Amino acid sequence: MLHYSYLTDSARGRLFARLPRRLGPSSSPQALAVGLGATLYTPGIRPDLAETVLKRGRSGCASMVLCLEDAVADADVGLAEDNVVAAVKDLARRDASALEALPLLFIRPRTPEQLLDVGRRLGAAAGLLTGFVLPKFENASGRAERFLDALDLLNREVGACARTPDGAPPARPALLAMPIIEHPVTTHRETRAGALLGVRDLLRARQELILSVRLGTTDMSAAYGLRRTRDLTIYDVAVVAEVIADVVGLLGRADEGWVISGPVWEHYSGTERILRPQLRSTPFDAANSAALRDRLLGANLDGLIREIELDLANGLVGKTVIHPSHVPVVHALHVVGHEEYLDALDIVAAEGGGAVASRSGARMNEAKPHRAWAQRTLARADAFGVARPDVTFADLLEASMK
């Protein structure tokens, strides 16, 4: 996985002061989790699934989920299972050059039993997967532990393990879990704290299996009969924003926490606008990209941009998306700006603490309280790169959407 690998060398050199780094099976789970970017969900029932995966990878998608859960009608589950197994086996037979741009692949099963059954049917081809997305993750009923037990068993049965490039013993299981916090017991206020503490205890106990934590805000909203419009972000839905805050508060702490991904943006283009557009024209005028701004507004992507900004401000990295047009927007906003990169370097270098003005003179950097932010920023820089001083979000998006 290498972000922006589809651009020419000259384009990458023009945009980046520091290029993104390649991530793969030998990378740490933390690095992989930060680098997931826009994780594109596709129904397991989709025709030509293997070709779709390869096409999305060539266009810049770095992680994909083949869904057997809510995206598939109950009557079609068997067909979807067969389709996913056939697609992954098809991909596993391709030569290395065909798989060069393969996204990190995950399957979202409905139950622990389905996880184990599909994994067994894949056999050696399961090694092509990065892992499984575990829906409605809660352990009051033991459901979450059963999911992790099934994944652990599958790792042992198929012999899937991540080895270092020199062939050393496996550092971690190859098939990893991305639990989704979305069950009513983790959503409703009266049960939430206890349920999330139970999830935290389980994640601590099975840490070697966990890649990152995801937020299922569609199910959270469903618990209250709500759905946001294109003009609003998920943070405008107060009861759901409360859940996000509690998940980050318990599972995303700087001293002991997991990478938590931003929730799904579920809107396509073409719906009616009520509120004013949310994109200033100035950055696009400076990049001679007024037409790009019009395209973003017409495709409902200004709301997505605002929500990503709020995701990052609230400690979330990456995002679940449902359409390929969302992918370059997520990635452009995850590239680290040159000034914030310099701030992060200066903060990490200040071992003894203290406070100094940033090199730009625009901010004050306090070494101790800003240290965790700086470390997270440098991890994001590894995955997504650092923009040149004169390169803006609009420049990155213009290059990605040509």
The domains of the chain, with CATH numbers, are 9-334 (3.20.20.60)
Residues 6 or more apart whose Cβ sits within 8 Å of residue 17: 338, 341, 386, 387, 388, 389
Paired tokens of 97? 């050059």
Predicted pLDDT at 275: 53
Amino acid at 194: G
Query: Is the separation of the CB atoms in 99 and 91 below 8 Å?
Result: yes
Tokens 């995801």, residue located:
214
State the DSSP code for 165. T
| Burial of 239 from C-beta contacts in 10 A (0-12 / 13-18 / 19+) | middle
Q: Please give the chain's pLDDT, 402 residues, in tens.
A: 899 999 999 999 999 999 999 988 778 999 999 999 999 999 999 999 999 999 999 999 999 999 999 999 999 999 999 999 999 999 999 998 888 889 999 999 999 999 999 999 999 999 999 999 999 999 999 999 999 999 999 999 986 444 444 444 445 678 999 999 999 999 999 999 999 999 999 999 999 999 999 999 999 999 999 998 888 899 999 999 999 999 999 999 998 889 999 999 988 765 665 555 565 565 665 555 667 666 665 556 788 889 999 999 999 999 999 999 999 999 999 999 999 999 999 999 988 888 887 787 778 888 899 999 999 999 999 999 999 999 988 889 888 876
Query: Is the separation of the CB atoms in 38 and 327 below 8 Å?
Result: yes
Q: How many CB atoms lie within 10 A of CB 223?
A: 17
Query: Is the separation of the CB atoms in 84 and 28 below 8 Å?
Result: no
State the DSSP code for 244. H
